[in-house]
Every structure is written in C-alpha cells, then in structure tokens.
Amino acid sequence: MENYIWIIVAVVVLLLLISCIRIVPQASAYIVERLGKFHDTWNAGPHLKLPFIDRVVRRVLLKEQVADFAPQPVITKDNVTMQIDSVVYFMVVDPRLYSYGVENPIMAMENLTATTLRNIIGDMTLDDTLTSRETINSRMLQTIDLATDPWGIKVTRVELKNIMPPAAIRDSMEKQMKAEREKRAEILNAEGQKQAMILKAEGHKESAVLEAEAQKRATILAAEAQREKEIQEAEGHAQAILKVQQATADGLRMIKEAGADEAVLRLKSLEAFAKAADGQATKIIIPSEIQGLAGLAESVKEVLK
C-alpha cells in the first residue's frame, strides 16, 4: 500500500514540475508576477516558475503590428467636416511598460491618433489636407511615437488611408476637375494648332531658301560654263594663230634651205603679213624693203595682162 502512495506522490510531483515549465515562443514575451508583484520578463525559450507563487499574467507579441482605426470626423480650418481613417504600424519594445503603462494600449493609441489628427487638420484648409498627406503622416508619427514611449510602444509608421469630404464638396471638386481637364484640352489643342502653323511657315521659308540656293547655284554653274567655253575658244584661236605662224616659219625655212633669193623671201614675208591681217585689220604697216618688192610685183601683173 505504501508503494502505491509513493508512486502517486511521485506522479503528482512530476506533473507539478511539468506544469511549472513554460516555453516562450519566438517574437513573444511573458510577464511574470510573484505573489502579485512584477517579478520578471521571460523572453523566447524554456523557463521554470515556482508553483503557486509565480504566475504568468500577460503574453506580449513583439512582432510589428497594424492597428486599423475607424474613420474619425475632423473639421478643417475652412470649416469643412470630413471623415478620415488612419492606419498605425507599431511594435512593443518594452513588455513591462506595455503591461503596466496603460490599461488598454490599443484603445489609448486609437484615441491619441484621433485627437492628434483633429489638431493637425484643424490648422489646415481642405485643399492643403488633400495635397499634404506626407506632411500629415510625418507630424502624426512624430507626435504619436513620442506620446506612446511611456507605454513601451514604438510607432514605426502612420498612414492616412481614406480622406472622405462631404458629398457636396466631392461634386464640386469633380466639376472643377472636369473644367480643368476641358481647359487643358483646349490649351493643348490651341498649342497644337499654333505649332502646326509655325512648322508650316518654317517649311515654306526653308523651301524658298532652298529654291533660291538652287537658282543661285544654277546661275553660278552657267557662268562657269560660259567662262570655260570662252577660255576654250580663246585657246583655240591662240592655237590656230600659233600653228599658222609655225607653218609660215617652216615654209620660210624650207625656202631658205632651198636657196631662194632675197626677193622671194620678201614676197613670202608680205604674204605672211597679209595672212596675219586676215581681212580684219584696216591698216598694215609694211617695211620699206618689202614695199619696193610689192610695187615690182604689181608692174609685172600689169604687163602680163
């Protein structure tokens, strides 16, 4: 009988010891109280608590968390009431402060977010609110993060999810945007027509310039061709005169080599002068030696007649 009692006692002790072992999962922390007073913060891993003395009062998640708060009514500086909902990203950095700093940390952070948003939007107009999301997010992050430090919370990011003005304001904004789009379309159309006219005028101008350049080049080429023709004609005349003179000189040299007397040479010189005139000159000056010979030739011609 006593053996059974010891076995039962051993089993109870073993179960008690097993019940006192706690394994904390990763990215979590346990808050442990001893006799109703804070004792320790258990991080990830196995831990052993004293039975009936230690008690795990809270399990805290250390991962980054997202709190999506309901839309809050806010009034802008120009008295426009609209609904804005926000999203807060946060993580617990001190489990002890998170457990003992405030009764309900999430609710406290939601109320803090709402009041901070009202304070910021109250100093801005509707247009500024719609175009300054980054500024609003930055100011809210700075304010909320500073206020939640005593609660062991680190706010990493704050975003405005939706900004919902009243229906009348939305209708007015849509009409304004439609008018702006139509205005931009008309401006773009006018700019396109203006650019087309400019391009057309520039095309005509370039065409006229190119035509003038072509005419100028044609005139220059024609003048160069005429000048080349005249040069070739002058060179031809010069070559002809040079050949005539060369032929005359060759003839005289051949006569001289054949033993012709001086009178014959003078007659040949006279013929050369006649050919040089070629009927173009109105006066030819003949040396005196050749003049006598020319008269003698005339006399002979008269007798022969």
* Annotated domain spans of the chain: 2-61, 65-165, 260-297
Provide the greatest CA pair distance for the chain.
200
**Which residues, in sequence order, are CB contacts of 105 under 8 Å at separation 6+?**
98, 148, 151, 153
Give the type of residue at 225: A
Q: What's the CA gap between 155 and 144, in Å, rounded? A: 7
State CA 159 to chain mean position distance.
31
Antiparallel, parallel or unpaired: β 81-92 and 153-164: antiparallel
Fold of 65-165: Tetrahydropterin Synthase; Chain A (3.30.479)
- pTM (two decimals): 0.56
Tokens of 194: 């203006």
pLDDT block averages, 10 residues each, the chain of length 305: 74 78 91 91 90 89 92 89 92 93 91 93 88 91 93 94 82 79 87 89 87 87 86 82 77 66 58 55 52 47 42
Residue 224 backbone dihedrals phi, psi, to 5 degrees: -65, -40
